[in-house]
Structure 1
Amino acid sequence: MADSPSSFSPTLILPTEIVIEIFILFLPVYPFCPPLGGLGSPTLLTQICRDWLEIALATPNLWRAISVDTHWTVFSRQVARAEIWLQRSQPLPLSLRFGPSTPFTPPFFVAAIIPHQYLHLHLVDRTQLAALRDGPTPLLRRLDLFS
């Protein structure tokens, strides 16, 4: 009986800590954001094999930079993905980017982003700005606001 091809994968014999470092090097340097899906996204790593899926889902550093920049046609799908990333990134501070094509910054993000490090937001609603202004931001390193 022959071994399955996956049993010969060099990454499966590496210590998990080394695989995690390789995964982190696959992404743009923090605070730059990878795409939510496709090439360059940590979601791609989850699709290779079960071991990679488990490692990626257990590594908050892979999910700590989120960018949503899209039109209405796919916006709700991207927000759903971003919510999942937000959960996976816990307890780390985030880099969040909402681009000019984003219809609005979702309310759950306004509440969730206050304690994070890097924010690049295109705000449509002035109440969102008040939520940012009034909240404590002890970890904030950079805030770019656009209207």
Structure 2
Amino acid sequence: MPLFPATDAFATHMLPVGQGHTLYIEQSGNPSGIPVIVLHGGPGSGFSPTTHRRFNPAVYHIVCFDQRGAGKSTPSGSFDANITPYLVQDVAAVLAHLGIAQAVLYGTSWGSTLALAFAQANPEKVLGMVLGGIFLGTQEELEWVNLPTGMARLR
């Protein structure tokens, strides 16, 4: 899929969300466009600077944010209070902070899991979802990631 040209952010924010965490948020594209919330993989990786280029900036209001402990969010690398229920609340807090009632959720890897958890808890806030590299956190997937008989064999 070809990427759209790079565009500068029209706004950035630092949003305190509780438990000592502050989220970095970046908005680009069309402020009046269809809101899309980018949920990055990880946890811990932060959003990629090219992620927003997957969306037509003339059509979409693109919101990227670094989840707890990731990217430019603070405290960096922290796993304290970094659990799914809080992350779901964080997505809702980002939407509320930006005055967005409904959005498309775009999630890859761990972001797909977070998108599904958010949609289950807040279906009225979801216009749609685009999910890739879906990770559901099943026992089999966790063993593949964590046990020496899984992913470690590929090293």
- TM-score by length of structure 2 reads 0.32
Q: Which has the higher helix share?
A: 1
Structure showing greater Rg: 1
Greater relative CO, 1 or 2 (CA 8 Å, sep 6+): 2
